[in-house]
Amino acid sequence: MTNIAEIADMDRRTVLHPFTYLKNYSAGETDPTIVETGKGVRIRDASGREYLDGFAGLYCVNVGYGRTEVAEAIARQAYKLAYYHSYAAHTTEELARLSDRLVRMAPGNMSKVFYGLSGSDANETQAKIVWYYNNLRGKAQKKKIISRERGYHGCSVVSGSMTGLSFYHDHMDLPVSGILRTGVPHFYRGAMPGETEEAFSQRRADELEALILAEGPETVGAFIAEPVLGTGGIAPPPAGYWPKIQAVLKKYDVLLIADEVVCGFGRTGAMFGSDLYGMDPDLITVAKGLTSAYVPLSAAIVSQKVYEVMEEATPRVGSFSHGYTYSGHPIGAAAANAVLDIVERENLARQSATKGAYLLQRLKAEFEQNPIVGEVRGVGMLAAIEFVSDRGSRASFDPGLKVGARISQAARNRNLIARAMPHGDILGFAPPLVMTEAEIDEMIA
């Protein structure tokens, strides 16, 4: 029997929870949700209450909860060999198989996969690879990294600095130097009156070019972006955005880091967001859907173009001196292979496209005309409702009213998890890709 009060008390006294109002929690004003089990698209707490998980945890449990074949793959590997490191060319069968399939699956001309444990650390690795690559090419000045306002790339020192949301920086001495910011391509919020999507995309590309020229192209190493803006408000790019951005990057020899942590492995209705938008990344970051979060695993995937420079420098610089104890952890690799088997066998990218279209159509039909709804948007199994106080002027609510958080709470009171996105009054939906149409109907209801 679970002793709920005892667990809650222990937790309150000892766990430093992410993104939690610390004093309210320790003072007992808010209670923990003790999550006990998960099956399919639902989780159950210790009191027996069941929730429909409309956000797949943190948009990561793509294959759904409780998939026994993933648990069994993890157990099999743990019994056989729970751990060995991957330094100095040690490997396992699962690791080699996973890397081979990732290089084949990934968009662009990818060559090698470096493993970490979180999207944040993988983006940290990407920044180091950009610096390393340009040092090795004799372009020691070409180090600045451009990210977008409202972009999200993690919470560690460099990834947190690349994140373009100021509340992740406040009181924590971020961003560090060398990280630049350019505009977010959210048409509803950023377009000028009468501007077309193409014209707005062109304006964003022109701004990027102007920034690169102002800084000096010889100082700009990379541009990092999510194919579809995620945590900053779930906003698919306007028409023409990616080809126009890509052209600017190629013109100035600036690497493109596609942060596919959310978009990767089917979320947008294609296997990768880069596939959907015809992007040609030099570096790709994946995490979340890679193992559907059954165990922590992330990867920085490196193109042939970048890798070649790294390899050729070996006689001069010696070994590639970057790595973690858990890089290429065999249990992570086994979990990823089992998850990707499901993603491929069940055609989850295609399912995400068709069921995502249904989800968006239902959300629009039910909510688009609501007087406090400004925009209903989405792509694949990724959707959002943005609330406004005035539809005509698109005016936001007073942030103190916490409208998004209250609507999310109201959904939760009805046993639905839909995430209040941390920026603006935006309710996010990113269900497991296995959610059925009947379950989507239940979520909408």
Q: Under the rule (CB under 6 A), what is the footprint of ligand PLP? A: 58, 118-120, 123, 152-154, 226, 230-231, 259, 261-262, 287
Min separation Cβ 308 and ligand PLP, Å: 26
Q: How far apart are CA 402 and CA 425, in angstroms?
A: 7
* Comparison of 142 and 419: residue with beta carbon closer to ligand PLP: 419
Q: How far apart are CA 215 and CA 201, in angstroms?
A: 21
How many helices and strands, by DSSP H and E, does the chain display? 17, 15
What b/e string do you get for 185-224 counting C-beta neighbours within 10 Å, with b at 16 or more?
bbbebbbeeeeeeeebbbbbbeebbebbeeeeeeebbbbb
Pairing assessment for the beta strands 283-286 and 255-259 based on DSSP bridges: parallel
Min separation Cβ 141 and ligand PLP, Å: 27
DSSP bridge partners of 367 = none
Min separation Cβ 176 and ligand PLP, Å: 17
Q: Where are the beta strands (DSSP E) in 54-210?
A: 110-116, 144-148, 179-182
* Comparison of 118 and 337: residue with beta carbon closer to ligand PLP: 118
* Comparison of 92 and 147: residue with beta carbon closer to ligand PLP: 147
Min separation Cβ 357 and ligand PLP, Å: 23
Min separation Cβ 417 and ligand PLP, Å: 16
Min separation Cβ 161 and ligand PLP, Å: 13
* Comparison of 230 and 380: residue with beta carbon closer to ligand PLP: 230
* Comparison of 230 and 428: residue with beta carbon closer to ligand PLP: 230
* Comparison of 373 and 428: residue with beta carbon closer to ligand PLP: 428
Min separation Cβ 26 and ligand PLP, Å: 24
Min separation Cβ 287 and ligand PLP, Å: 5
The DSSP secondary structure of 78-100, one letter per residue, reads HHH-S----GGG---HHHHHHHH
Q: For 241-367, where are the alpha helices, taking DSSP H only?
A: 241-251, 273-277, 304-312, 314-317, 330-345, 348-367
Spatial CB neighbours of 27, under 8 Å, sequence gap ≥ 6 = none
Closest CA to 383 of 262, 286, 284: 262
* Comparison of 230 and 374: residue with beta carbon closer to ligand PLP: 230
SS3 202: helix
Structure tokens at 79: 């019994």
Residue 241: is it exposed, middle or buried by C-beta count within 10 angstroms (0-12/13-18/19+)? Answer: buried
* Comparison of 333 and 388: residue with beta carbon closer to ligand PLP: 333
Residues 432/417, Cβ–Cβ less than 8 Å: no
